[in-house]
């Protein structure tokens, strides 16, 4: 019996992480889309009118619906492209966190009103 306990044999190939990376990056894209659509609807009346899907909530209904659709599309496309690949999770996580941080900053009124 060996002193070291390996879960995987030494000759096993690593599992592709592309599907997980696609989910992480698409979440960042979706969160940034909410902020982008909110700013666009605040600044342009035509965009605001385009985003009114349900009158009691105003443009918020369209902003969030469009962002969810963009998130799902990004997830599906990235998953399809990366499903059998191994990608740099460090780089993907940095990009996703940067998009999340930007989205939080842009939805903060003093910063969002600068645009």
Query: pLDDT digits over 85-94, tens only?
Result: 999 999 999 9
Choose between 13 and 108: higher pLDDT: 108
Residue 5: pLDDT above 50? no
* Contact present, 39 and 67 (Cβ < 8 Å): no
Checking if the pLDDT of 113 tops 90, the result is no
Is residue 2 a part of any domain in this protein?
Answer: no
Residue 9 lies inside a defined structural domain of this protein: no
pLDDT tens profile 22-78 = 999 999 999 999 999 999 999 999 999 999 999 999 999 999 999 999 999 999 999
Q: Which domain holds residue 104?
A: 18-112
- Tokens 């900053």 found at: 105
Closest CA to 37 of 77, 13, 16, 67: 67
In a domain, 57, yes or no: yes
- pTM attached to this predicted model: 0.81
Residue 79: inside a domain, yes or no? Answer: yes
pLDDT value at 96 more than 90: yes
Count of domains forming the chain: 1
Q: What is the DSSP letter of 114?
A: T
Would you give the end-to-end CA distance of the chain in angstroms? 66
- Within a domain: 84: yes
The reported pLDDT for the residue numbered 8 is 42
Give the chain's largest Cα–Cα span: 73
Residue 12 domain flag: no
Residue 105 lies in a domain: yes
Residue 34 lies in a domain: yes
HSE (CB half, 13 Å, CA atoms) of 16?
11
What confidence category does residue 3 fall into, taking pLDDT thresholds of 50, 70 and 90?
low
The three-class DSSP label of residue 6 is coil
Q: What is the pLDDT of residue 6?
A: 43
């Amino acid at each position: 019996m060996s002193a070291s306990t390996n879960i995987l044999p030494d000759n096993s190939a690593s599992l592709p992480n592309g599907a997980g990376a696609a989910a992480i990056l698409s979440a960042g894209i979706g969160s940034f889309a909410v902020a982008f659509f909110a700013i666009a609807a605040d600044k342009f009346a035509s965009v605001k009118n385009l985003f009114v899907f349900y009158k009691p909530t105003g443009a918020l209904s369209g902003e969030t619906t469009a962002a969810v659709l963009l998130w799902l599309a990004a997830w599906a496309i990235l998953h399809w492209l990366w499903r059998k690949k191994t990608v740099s999770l460090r780089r993907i996580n940095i990009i996703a966190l940067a998009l999340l941080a930007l989205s939080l900053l842009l939805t903060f009124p003093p910063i969002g009103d600068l645009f």
